[in-house]
Amino acid sequence: QVQLQESGPGLVKPSQTLSLTCTVSGGSISSGSYYWSWIRQPAGKGLEWIGRIYTSGSTNYNPSLKSRVTISVDTSKNQFSLKLSSVTAADTAVYYCASVVVTPNVYFDLWGRGTLVTVSS
């Protein structure tokens, strides 16, 4: 079955760029049935959608983060990635990658286990 796994540094300095990768296994990221998304959750708080990408490279971002976010896809590696620039302590969170079913219903059906990213000097 399809599984997602986040990877990347667990500690990022303020003002630097957070970079994470999600590896999709057990299925093709190019299947066309899904969008691929990033979601984050600060400790003890709720879920915040960051953005999504389709295998064509088409993206949509949360307006509150849009100026700092880039999501990209590498179909040859079955991966998609997140870059968040100019990070501050407010960006400390568990970051999840997820697959998004888009037809006919829309929902996040599979999630990675999440990776904690701490922004600190």
Select the residue interacting with other proteins from 46, 88, 90, 120 (CB under 8 A).
Answer: 46
87-97 burial string, b = 16+ CB within 10 Å, else e?
beeebbbbbbb
Nearer to other proteins, 87 or 114 (CB): 114
- Is 92 a binder of other proteins (CB under 8 A)? no
- Is 30 a binder of other proteins (CB under 8 A)? no
Select the residue interacting with other proteins from 62, 70, 75, 78 (CB under 8 A).
Answer: 62
Give the three-class secondary structure for 22.
strand
Phi, psi of 94 (to 5 degrees): -85, 130
Prior bond to 42 cis, omega within 30?
A: no
Cβ 76 to other proteins, closest distance in Å?
A: 26
- Is 107 a binder of other proteins (CB under 8 A)? yes
Residue of 92, 9, 78, 110 lying closest to 45 (CA atoms): 92
Cβ 38 to other proteins, closest distance in Å?
A: 11
